[in-house]
Structures are given as structure tokens and as C-alpha cells.
Amino acid sequence: MKIVVDFDRCESNAVCMGIAPDIFEVRDDNFLYILDENPPEVRRGDIQEAVDMCPKAAISISDD
């Protein structure tokens, strides 16, 4: 599983960080950072919630 973010769509509103702060982080520069681009499968539920809750639909999961 790989987290993919469309940074052109992302508004760095930190909804995803509220769901999975060990995976997503919005820093003082107001940009979103992915702390673990390939999280373990056990985290899929949290990552899927972040995908579903993103107001700009900027996050997706790739299953390469």
C-alpha cells in the first residue's frame, strides 16, 4: 500500500493529520508531509478514513 497525495489539490487543512498523526503532518510552513508513504497494511482503515474525509479528495491509496 502506498499513500498518494495530489499536492496541487491539497489545502493542508490537517483533517488527515487528525485521523493519522503518525502518517500525515502539517508543519509550520502550512504544507502537508507524509511521514510514512508505505504504512503497514494494519493501518489501512485509518488511511482509508483519511482518504474518505479529505475535503479536497487529494489523498488516495495505490496498491502496487
Which tens digit of pLDDT belongs to each residue from 7-58?
A: 999 999 999 999 999 999 999 999 999 999 999 999 999 999 999 999 999 9
Domains within the chain, CATH numbers bracketed? 2-62 (3.30.70.20)
Residue 2 is predicted with a pLDDT of: 98
Q: Looking at this protein, which amino acid is placed at residue 45? A: G
Residue 1 is predicted with a pLDDT of: 96
- pLDDT-derived band at 64 (thresholds 50, 70, 90) equals confident
Task: Spell out the residues 6+ positions from residue 60 whose beta carbon is closer than 8 angstroms to its own.
Answer: 3, 4, 5, 6, 51
pTM: 0.93
